[in-house]
Amino acid sequence: MGVMDTDRIMQITYLTLLGGAIAVSYIVSQRGQMGKVAQQASIWGLIFVGVIAAAGMWGDIRQSIAPQQSVMTGGDIVLPRQVDGHFYAQLDVNGHPVTFMVDTGASQIVLSAADAARVGIDTATLRYLGQASTANGVVRTALVTLDSVTLGDVTQADVRAVVNQGAMDGSLLGMTYLRNFSNIQMTADDLILTR
């Protein structure tokens, strides 16, 4: 048994004895009110269990509350998996932030009508001449050129995209944009895009 193991055993033994001595002295001082002591002990026990559970699950809780995309040194962009199981990327389109769901099944960047209007595209004057097959059926699309698209520290000009005339919850980041990355790696919790 090493020195480190002996030190840990001694620390645990000391803390256990100290905690036991404090608990016994409190019970002795409150011996006339044992019902109240039991109630307080159960409340403190639940608080202790809650704190231990929260500490153990903090990584999951933090990820669920506010998972953030990050840009790592070397140009990697890390997109954490969200609660719904999808990966989302925050891009700057024509100077406006737009959240895209990463969709390897989409061939292009697909803007919802709402996001298109928000980035300065007049959706009323678009010519919806294209069609796309979606899970909800065939929808009409209009080809557009975005002045600028920025992800991380890389900006591209004159990026082709389509605007979907059908109802969409959000915009999609498809393969024409994802091909700009030399490597796309999926782990259990993250999608890592490498330039």
- Residue 72's pLDDT is what? 58
Structure confidence at residue 167 (pLDDT): 82
Q: What is the distance between the alpha carbons of residues 36 and 127, in angstroms, rounded to a whole number?
A: 75
- Extents of the domains making up the chain: 3-56, 67-194
Residue given tokens 């980041």 in the structure block: 173
> 3-state DSSP call for residue 128?
coil
User: Could you tell me the fold of the domain covering 67-194?
Assistant: Cathepsin D, subunit A; domain 1 (2.40.70)
Q: What is residue 66's predicted lDDT score, i.e. its pLDDT?
A: 47
- Give the distance, in angstroms, between the CA of residue 74 and the centroid of all CA atoms in the same chain: 21
Q: State pTM to two decimals.
A: 0.62
Q: What is the pLDDT along the chain (195 residues), one digit of tens a residue?
A: 555 567 778 878 888 888 777 877 777 777 777 677 677 777 777 777 677 666 666 555 554 554 566 655 567 888 888 888 899 999 999 999 999 999 888 889 999 999 999 999 999 999 989 888 777 778 899 999 999 999 888 889 999 999 998 888 889 999 999 998 888 898 888 888 888
CA distance linking residue 63 with residue 123, whole number of Å: 35
Separation of alpha carbons 189 and 86, rounded Å: 10
> Ramachandran region of residue 137, left (φ > 0), alpha (ψ -120 to 50) or beta?
left
